[in-house]
Amino acid sequence: MNFTILWFVLLFCGLALAQDDGGTCSPDTCNLLRDFGSRSEKLGAMETRLEDCESQILELRNNERTKVIFSAVATAGDKAIGPFDEDTTLIYNKVFTNIGNAYNPSTGIFAAPVAGVYYFSIYYHAGGHHEGKLFLYKNGQLMIMTHDHKSDSDTADNGGNAVFLQLQQGEQVYVQLAANCHVWGSDLHTTFNGFLVTLM
Amino acid sequence: MNFTILWFVLLFCGLALAQDDGGTCSPDTCNLLRDFGSRSEKLGAMETRLEDCESQILELRNNERTKVIFSAVATAGDKAIGPFDEDTTLIYNKVFTNIGNAYNPSTGIFAAPVAGVYYFSIYYHAGGHHEGKLFLYKNGQLMIMTHDHKSDSDTADNGGNAVFLQLQQGEQVYVQLAANCHVWGSDLHTTFNGFLVTLM
Amino acid sequence: MNFTILWFVLLFCGLALAQDDGGTCSPDTCNLLRDFGSRSEKLGAMETRLEDCESQILELRNNERTKVIFSAVATAGDKAIGPFDEDTTLIYNKVFTNIGNAYNPSTGIFAAPVAGVYYFSIYYHAGGHHEGKLFLYKNGQLMIMTHDHKSDSDTADNGGNAVFLQLQQGEQVYVQLAANCHVWGSDLHTTFNGFLVTLM
């Protein structure tokens, strides 16, 4: 008789256990474990992708932060600069803007702080009784120039030029006033300007 | 006798329960719970990093979207503009480009919509029988100029200049034609150009 | 009597099952499952946000990678270019920079590789015994020009101009030397420069 009862118990408990978790809440533990495994893999994969996003954003922000912009004028208190006996680096000594401090107003020399493509423009005003002539150099190599002739009838001249140059870090760009030439040294006319267009 | 049976039941159910989850599938619930806790922490940390990415991308996109670019020419139907008795703001009334509408072709005044470094360039053509002289101002302060002398023998002159200026939001840049001077008012020669190089 | 016992069994097993997992380790499976479900939803939502970040970063990087910059000079071995009987496209045949190869030094024509706003500047030097006159065209439409008069007394002239133009992909910009005019063909003076300021 005990045994009959035990069989009832066995039957009952068996049924009860079979629907155990399922009975308490679904889905059952097996699916839970399977799902949990796949979620863990996905989490790992997403973290890798997130790290990639973070590094790309950092690069974009660094590129954006790299700013090189300058404008300066060669001033000698409203009189001519030159003529000199030889070609002379023109010192644009009054600075309007010098973001990144790549232009040196004591030497007149711009040095590229980073490799990239830069824009440079020069403008001058000069009296007519001497030639006006400016050379823009990249590391001692003549790139562009602007000049006008001596003229007794035409008492003043203007000139300008511009160029985009690809520079390596440290390469220098500067302007020379040709021998026996002059430019007007007000603090408004004879300018040297440049900026970093893009990193390369 | 009831009690004897109850002890059997106790024993049976105890064993059955002991191997419950473990019996159904491995690993056991304890490890599952431990892993689950650590995964949950990682998920929270990743969400914080993701939010940081999103805000940085938004900032990069806003910077990229901020565009200020204009080009305009001063036209009077192929005749000279000026001379006037006093310095007069030159109205570059025909617009080539005005992205951001920061330049006002009715007043000739550019107003910086955002703080940043801007590039400005001016060019003019003029007959020789009057002086040509243009001043570029930032908020009433003279920045740069370009001019040439009156000349009977040289019947025409050209001039130009450019500068990078750091402006606060709302600061104004404009060009004035000097008193008793003129520039040529075709719709092709005498231009005023500028663009936002970088936010600051 | 069997039934009495079965009710005991029912009662006992009911209690035992109720505290099932809870008995093995806490918190119980129900909370685990609830938490797990919410974590899974969060994981899905985060993956969507991550994909959005990735696509925006890709767009930002593509914009950054789109670089169009050129500088070239019209050279004829230190003698004049022109005069010609008709307006002639000036071929700036020596290239300083040509990032993106949008400028063709064989034809003198720049073709926009992408829609955007571009900056163009031109500068020239010329002897005085002919007129110097350059036209900058966008798709056959005259945009800006620079010129100076013939002059026997003033033996040389300089001129320049610049403009920002919004171009669709494929639109062309080029410079024409006016009929019966000339410019100086050194490899240093007469330049044509441009760059992509922004995609549009």
pLDDT tens digits, residue range A122-173? 999 998 889 999 999 999 999 999 998 887 777 888 999 999 999 999 999 9
Instruction: Single out the residue of B146, B29, B198 nearest to residue C22, CA to CA.
Output: B29
Cα separation, B200 vs C169, whole angstroms: 31
Interchain proximity C160–A163, CB inside 8 Å: no
The per-residue b/e assignment along B37-72, b for 16 or more CB within 10 angstroms, e otherwise, is eebeeebeebbeebeebbebbeebeebbeebbbbbb
Sheet containing strand C94-99, strands side by side: C94-99, C69-73, C191-199, C116-127, C156-167
Report the pLDDT averaged over residues B152-173.
93
User: Which of A99, A101, A151 should we substitute to test contact with B (largest number of B Cβ atoms within 10 Å)?
Assistant: A99
User: Among A14-18, B50-54, C26-30, C137-141, which stretch is predicted with the lowest mean pLDDT?
Assistant: A14-18
- Tell me the pLDDT band of A3, cut-offs 50, 70 and 90: low
Q: Which residues pair with B163 in a beta bridge?
A: B120
The residue with tokens 């169009």 is: C68
Cα separation, A131 vs A146, whole angstroms: 11
Cα separation, A16 vs C134, whole angstroms: 97
Q: What pTM does this model have?
A: 0.86
Residue pair B72/B173 in contact (Cβ under 8 Å)? The answer is no
Residue pair B115/B170 in contact (Cβ under 8 Å)? The answer is no
* Residues in chain B within 8 Å Cβ distance of A157: 148
User: Quick one: CATH architecture of C67-199?
Assistant: Sandwich (2.60)
Residue B20 has pLDDT above 90, yes or no: no
Interchain proximity A13–B13, CB inside 8 Å: yes
Instruction: Single out the residue of A1, A5, A16 nearest to residue B9, CA to CA.
Output: A5
The per-residue b/e assignment along C53-91, b for 16 or more CB within 10 angstroms, e otherwise, is bbebbeebeebbeebbbbbbbbbbeeebbbbeeeebebb
Residue pair C110/C90 in contact (Cβ under 8 Å)? The answer is no
User: Which of A2, A4, A146 should we substitute to test contact with C (largest number of C Cβ atoms within 10 Å)?
Assistant: A146
Interchain proximity A149–C155, CB inside 8 Å: yes
Cα separation, B26 vs A186, whole angstroms: 88
Amino acid C28: pLDDT: 64
Positive or negative, the CA dihedral A28, A30, A34, A40 is positive
The torsion angle over the Cα atoms of residues C51, C55, C61 and C65, rounded to 10 degrees, is 140
Cα separation, A68 vs C58, whole angstroms: 25
* Residues in chain C within 8 Å Cβ distance of A18: none
Residue pair C158/A148 in contact (Cβ under 8 Å)? The answer is yes
SS in 3 state form for chain A?
Answer: CHHHHHHHHHHHHHHHHHCHHHHHCCCCHHHHHHHHHHHHHHHHHHHHHHHHHHHHHHHHHHHHHCCCEEEEECCCCCCEECCCCCCEECCCCEEEEEECCCEECCCCEEECCCCEEEEEEEEEEEECCCEEEEEEEECCEEEEEEEECCCCCCCEEEEEEEEEEEECCCCEEEEEECCCECEECCCCCCEEEEEEEEEC
- Report chain B's C-alpha Rg in angstroms: 38
**More confident of the two residues B158 and B6:** B158
**More confident of the two residues A5 and B85:** B85
The torsion angle over the Cα atoms of residues C185, C187, C192 and C195, rounded to 10 degrees, is 170
* Residues in chain A within 8 Å Cβ distance of C160: 160-161
- Tell me the pLDDT band of C22, cut-offs 50, 70 and 90: very low
- Tell me the pLDDT band of B76, cut-offs 50, 70 and 90: very high
Report the pLDDT averaged over residues C74-80.
94
B57, B60, B153 member nearest A64 (Cβ): B60
Closest approach of A60 to chain C, Cα-based (Å): 7
Helices within C138-180 (DSSP H only): none
Report the pLDDT averaged over residues C30-36.
77
User: Among A118-127, B3-12, B189-198, C32-41, which stretch is predicted with the lowest mean pLDDT?
Assistant: B3-12
Residue A22 has pLDDT above 80, yes or no: no
CA-to-CA separations, A101 to A66, A129, B196, in angstroms, rounded? 12, 36, 19
Cα separation, A35 vs A26, whole angstroms: 13
CA-to-CA separations, A152 to A128, A155, A157, B150, B153, in angstroms, rounded? 6, 6, 11, 13, 10
